[in-house]
């Protein structure tokens, strides 16, 4: 529904600018409600199309969205519950992966599921696998399940991913897990945000990477800082973030061209609601906008 999307964008056009009027957060809230209605309508239309399709199409959809098998039965090392594949992407086989996994860095704890109980959070590595399949995020609920999610790596990323923080980012119950894939001091520091996506069945669900729509690069990567102007932070309205990216302006090294984009969380996707570009002198960007202070998600409620 392009008219609805355009209306939302026009309505929120000024949110990214400093000195936004006092009613801005109310407009974000109304926009979020309207987006939810639009998503429900789209989902209902998709369901009708699928039901009306051929048997072969239904079988193909089932195969595409079927979860991968769970790896083994060693809860002290690896997952025993739900896996979290990413539909439409090349998957990594699980096989006997549990027996070869080794932990990376210290574990953390946090209420990822949103039921008031802290889960154990740990990054694991299987060094025998290629880079894209090497790292897993495991979330071990204290009572009923252990989830894992693939930490998607890219050819230019050579550092081991690490647990950066847990924070309330998407505005829903439970904290998100932020994975640092670049490390401090990198020219372009980036990472991923993982969230718990509940299922209709009690105790079911999965841990999945959140995405930006439209993305600022690979859709699962969030800019965490670095030597150039880039970063991400929460804004006062729950479930809303601002992502800023920049580069040196043409003609010299005295100014940055920076684009600030406001996103609203809709399930596991942050959907763009406004975007605006600025040119500022180098050195002023982190004073003007908190997300550029090389301290990602600094304003989000801590987990």
Distance in angstroms (rounded) separating the CA atoms of residues 284 and 255: 9
The region of weakest confidence among 123-127, 196-200, 228-232 is 196-200
How many CB atoms are closer than 10 A to CB 201? 7
Q: Which helix (H) or strand (E) holds 150?
A: strand 146-150
pLDDT at 195 over 90: yes
Mean pLDDT computed over every residue of the chain: 75
Residue 295's pLDDT is: 92
pLDDT at 156 over 90: no
Q: Write out pLDDT tens, residues 132-151.
A: 889 999 999 998 889 989 99
* Cα atoms in the Cβ-side hemisphere of radius 13 Å centred on 297: 27
Distance in angstroms (rounded) separating the CA atoms of residues 86 and 216: 19
Radius of gyration of the chain (CA): 20
Confidence category of residue 232, pLDDT binned at 50, 70, 90: very high
Please report the sign of the dihedral spanned by the C-alpha atoms of residue 31, residue 287, residue 285, residue 296: negative
Q: What is the mean pLDDT of residues 157-181?
A: 94
pLDDT at 236 over 70: yes
Instruction: Give me the percent of the chain exceeding a pLDDT of 90.
Output: 48
Strand-pairing partners, residue 91, are: none
pLDDT at 76 over 50: no
Distance in angstroms (rounded) separating the CA atoms of residues 248 and 290: 19
Q: What is the mean pLDDT of residues 214-241?
A: 91
Q: Write out pLDDT tens, residues 86-134.
A: 444 556 765 545 457 899 999 999 999 999 999 999 999 998 888 888 9
pLDDT at 225 over 50: yes
Residue 8's pLDDT is: 40
Q: Tell me which of 118 and 53 has the higher pLDDT.
A: 118
Burial classification of residue 44, based on how many CB atoms lie within 10 Å of its CB (0-12 exposed, 13-18 middle, 19 or more buried): exposed
The pair of structure tokens assigned to 243 is 């992502």
pLDDT at 23 over 50: no
Q: What is the mean pLDDT of residues 35-48?
A: 40
Domain parsing of the chain, residue ranges? 2-292
Residue 199's pLDDT is: 83
Q: In 176-254, which ranges are E strands? A: 176-180, 189-198, 205-209, 211-213, 222-225, 230-234, 240-248
């Amino acid at each position: 529904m392009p008219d609805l999307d355009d209306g939302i964008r026009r309505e929120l056009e000024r949110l990214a600018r400093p000195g936004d009027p006092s009613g801005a957060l109310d407009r974000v809230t109304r926009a979020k409600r309207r987006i939810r209605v639009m998503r429900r309508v789209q989902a209902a239309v998709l369901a009708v199309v699928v039901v009306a399709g051929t048997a072969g199409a239904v079988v193909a959809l089932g195969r595409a969205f079927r979860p991968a098998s769970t790896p083994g039965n060693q809860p002290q090392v690896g997952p025993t519950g739900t896996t979290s594949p990413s539909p439409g992407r090349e998957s990594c086989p699980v096989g006997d992966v549990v027996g070869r996994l080794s932990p990376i860095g210290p574990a953390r704890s946090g209420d990822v599921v949103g039921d008031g109980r802290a889960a154990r959070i740990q990054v694991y590595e299987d060094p025998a696998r290629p880079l894209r399949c090497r790292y897993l995020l495991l979330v071990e609920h204290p009572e009923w399940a252990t989830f894992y999610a693939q930490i998607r790596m890219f050819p230019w990323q050579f550092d081991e991913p690490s647990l950066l923080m847990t924070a309330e980012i998407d505005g829903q119950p439970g904290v998100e897990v932020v994975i640092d894939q670049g490390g401090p001091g990198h020219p372009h520091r980036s990472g991923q945000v993982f969230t718990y996506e509940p299922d209709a069945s009690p105790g079911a669900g999965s841990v999945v990477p959140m995405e930006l729509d439209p993305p600022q690069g690979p859709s699962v990567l969030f800019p965490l800082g670095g030597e150039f102007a880039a970063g991400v932070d929460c804004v006062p309205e729950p479930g809303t973030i601002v992502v800023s990216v920049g580069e040196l302006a043409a003609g010299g090294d005295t100014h940055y061209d920076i684009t600030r984009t406001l996103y609203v969380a809709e399930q596991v996707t942050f959907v763009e609601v406004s975007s605006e570009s600025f040119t500022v002198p180098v050195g002023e960007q982190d004073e003007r906008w908190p997300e550029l202070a090389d301290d990602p998600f600094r304003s989000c409620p801590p987990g």
